[in-house]
Amino acid sequence: MRPRFRPSSLVPAGFVVDHLDVGTDRISLVVRSGSATATCPDCRTSSRRIQSRYQRRAADLPLGGRRVELQVMVRRFWCDAAACGRKIFAERFSEDVLPTFARRTSRLEQIVHHLGLALGGRPGAGLAQRLMLPV
Ligand SMILES: [Zn+2]
């Protein structure tokens, strides 16, 4: 039996890969949430009505000697709850995958954090550079 490669196995849980571009020194992955709905951060009501989309970039763990950049397609949803003051919200991802406003995935952030703790600022940054981790 021939093993089947699934691009979504490369990215953090919950993301689906729409496009994969392998360059000489970087891999770009266009990803989106695999969920059809999102939860309003104010009233916790689930919505599936998409208002718009925008792109957010986040660095992920290097792969095969190449830096990995996720281009995350984020959806904005309408909140239909009558009592909710928020009309539109952007979908959020799990804190252990991609926190709000983060420029790195949580798994990359964790490694950078531990390098910093173990080696300190400059030596940690030097080793991160050699490991192709963006710092
Ligand atoms: Zn709401």
What are the structural domain ranges in the chain?
11-130
Q: Dump pLDDT digits (tens) for 62-114.
A: 998 899 999 999 999 999 999 999 999 999 999 999 999 999 999 999 999 99
Distance between Cα 45 and ligand 1 center (Å): 6
Return residues with CB closer than 5 A to ligand 1 (ion): 40, 42-43, 79, 81, 84, 86
Beta-bridge partners for 63: 66
Closest to 71 in 3D by CA, of 108, 117, 29, 104: 29
DSSP per-residue codes, 87-128:
SEEE----TTT--TT-SB-HHHHHHHHHHHHHH-HHHHHHHH
**How high is the pLDDT of residue 135?**
77
Give the chain's mean pLDDT. Answer: 92
| C-alpha to C-alpha distance for 78 and 127, rounded to whole angstroms | 44
CA 86 – ligand 1 centroid, Å? 5
